[in-house]
Amino acid sequence: MLEVKRNGMTESKEIIVKVVDVSKKFQNQPVLESINMDIPRGKLVAITGTSGCGKSTLLKIVAALNYPDNGKVYIENTDIFQLSRKKLFEFRKDFGFLFQDAALISNLTIFDNIALPLRYHYNIPEDEINNQVNSILDEFGLSHLKNYLPAQLSMGQRKLISFVRALIMKPKILFLDEPVTGIDAIARQKMTEMILPLRDDPNITIIMVSHNLEFIKQSADYIALLHQNKLLAYDKRDEIIKSRDPIINRILSIIIDEE
């Protein structure tokens, strides 16, 4: 069952990710405090909040890229932090991650950056890798960039390529860290056009960090609102956006000012 933090809403949904009492400190300062969330399969959940509230840290913990000090994360009923390194490696085949800074490998071409997860995780023929990479580049109209190095591209282009790399493994869970932040208007529109159709795919669950409320309004099914390192509210998008709760409204107005 999916349980949310406001309006007493509880609805029957298949849960793919369960976050239980997750806490994290950096240099003895709390970054996350007792976070609890149930994330339904096939939905887009946007994690938002004011700067420094722990959004990206939470995303990386759920993606098993960081470890909590306390608490558990279950993905498809598996406690991911109890897995051996080998089993966690296998588990991550079902993840795709778009990093805030794109995180492309600087000395690899765009083509080879996208091919990297396939070469790393699977023992498949090179001609099949070539076919898959060329196909996804064609699908998103980015084939003209494949022979460039990351440094030759704008940040917007690098993020688009990083998004394609995150999709190449056909992930069950797609993690997006600020996908439309710090990029030009053309790249932002392109990114939006790439993300929105995925909402209709029941086989992909998207967990996204963003402080761009307009984009969240366009894309999210659910919103998790963090404040002072805690989960202030978690509900359907419109329940959060149209909330009359003065604290929620104040936090949303601060987020708008920070954009």
Please name the fold of domain 2-258: Rossmann fold (3.40.50)
pTM: predicted TM-score of the whole model, two decimal places: 0.91
Closest by alpha carbon to 172, among 114, 84, 91? Answer: 91
3-state secondary structure of 101: coil
Sign of the Cα torsion 119, 123, 124, 126 reads positive
pLDDT attached to residue 52: 80
CA dist 66 → 22, 56, 121, 215 (Å): 12, 10, 20, 26
Phi first, then psi, for residue 54 (nearest 5°) are: 100, 15
- Domain positions in the chain are 2-258
Query: One digit per residue, pLDDT tens: the chain, 259 residues?
Result: 344 444 334 455 799 999 999 999 998 899 999 999 999 999 999 999 988 888 999 999 999 999 999 999 999 999 999 999 999 988 888 999 999 999 999 999 999 999 999 998 888 899 999 999 999 999 999 999 999 999 999 999 999 999 999 999 999 999 999 999 999 999 999 999 999 999 999 999 999 999 999 999 999 999 999 999 999 999 999 999 999 999 999 999 988 766 6
